[in-house]
């Protein structure tokens, strides 16, 4: 059995809060796998803009760019809430995911992307958020990229590391990289490393 748009019903929506993103209380019901309909249920959804991430690879150096920055959602993380991540940002009106990947790479890594390959588009956490995340891998010259970046007006403070591929893969395996988008990107890259190095090198 395959369900579609006619198999759920939104009964009511109430905005609870609006700021950087929006929190909405949704009342709904949906068809059941065993037949019939569920009862009315309440669900809270964080409505966010679509986001884009890009894992930047320099085939000449065989290195990847990894951004280190503070994340408020990781306040309880030990040893600290500074995470090792890929380059990422939110889409603005009129932008394509590729536009965002190129813009954020300039802002957060100081590099212009060359080849850009789509990895996947997926919901980040659909149990409570509608955020769609578009993930890419791209080639760039990282020889002079390591350093500090970010927009002061957005209180961004980003340290960019340029690391050998083997070290980044080890970081994903031992937990030093522990956020979903970066893990998806790094594990995808591990499967495609040799192809990308040959194609982009």
Tens-place pLDDT, residues 132-189 = 999 999 999 999 999 999 888 888 899 999 999 999 999 999 999 999 999 999 999 9
**Residues 181, 23: Cα–Cα separation, whole Å:** 22
Domain boundaries, the chain: 5-47, 51-200
> Which one-letter DSSP state was computed for residue 21?
S
DSSP 102-132: HHHHHHHH-----SEEEEEEEES-TTTB--E
**Residues 65, 62: Cα–Cα separation, whole Å:** 10
Helix and strand tally (H, E) in the chain?
3, 11
SS3 label, residue 200: helix
Which of 189, 198, 67, 83 minimizes the C-alpha distance to 135? Answer: 189
pTM (2 d.p.): 0.93
> Is residue 47's pLDDT more than 90?
yes
Tokens standing for residue 135? 């993930």
CA 170-106-94 angle, 5° bins: 115
CATH superfamily of 51-200: Nucleoside Triphosphate Pyrophosphohydrolase (3.90.79.10)
> Is residue 34's pLDDT more than 80?
yes
Which of 92, 94, 90, 63 minimizes the C-alpha distance to 169? Answer: 63
**What pLDDT does 152 receive?**
87
| Catalytic site positions | 154
Q: Are 70 and 109 in contact (CB under 8 A)?
A: no
Considering the chain, what is the average pLDDT of its residues?
Answer: 96
pLDDT tens figures, 73-107: 999 999 999 999 999 999 999 999 999 999 999 99
């Amino acid at each position: 059995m395959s369900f579609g748009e006619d198999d759920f019903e939104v009964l009511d929506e109430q905005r609870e809060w609006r700021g950087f993103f929006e929190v909405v209380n949704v009342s709904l019901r949906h068809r059941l796998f065993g037949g019939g309909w569920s009862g009315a249920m309440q669900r809270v959804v964080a409505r966010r803009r679509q986001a884009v991430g890009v894992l930047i690879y320099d085939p000449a150096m065989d290195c990847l760019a990894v951004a280190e920055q503070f994340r408020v959602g990781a306040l309880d993380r030990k040893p600290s809430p500074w995470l090792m991540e890929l380059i990422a940002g939110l889409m603005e009106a009129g932008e394509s995911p590729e536009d965002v990947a190129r813009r954020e790479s300039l802002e957060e890594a100081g590099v212009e992307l060359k080849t850009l390959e789509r990895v996947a588009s997926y919901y980040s956490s659909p149990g409570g958020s509608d955020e769609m995340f578009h993930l890419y891998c791209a080639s760039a010259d990282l020889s002079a990229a390591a350093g500090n970046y970010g927009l002061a007006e957005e209180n961004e403070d980003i340290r960019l590391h340029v690391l050998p591929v083997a070290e980044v893969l080890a970081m994903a395996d031992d937990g030093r990289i522990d956020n979903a988008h970066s893990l998806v990107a790094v594990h995808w890259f591990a499967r495609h490393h040799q192809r990308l190095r040959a194609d982009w090198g």
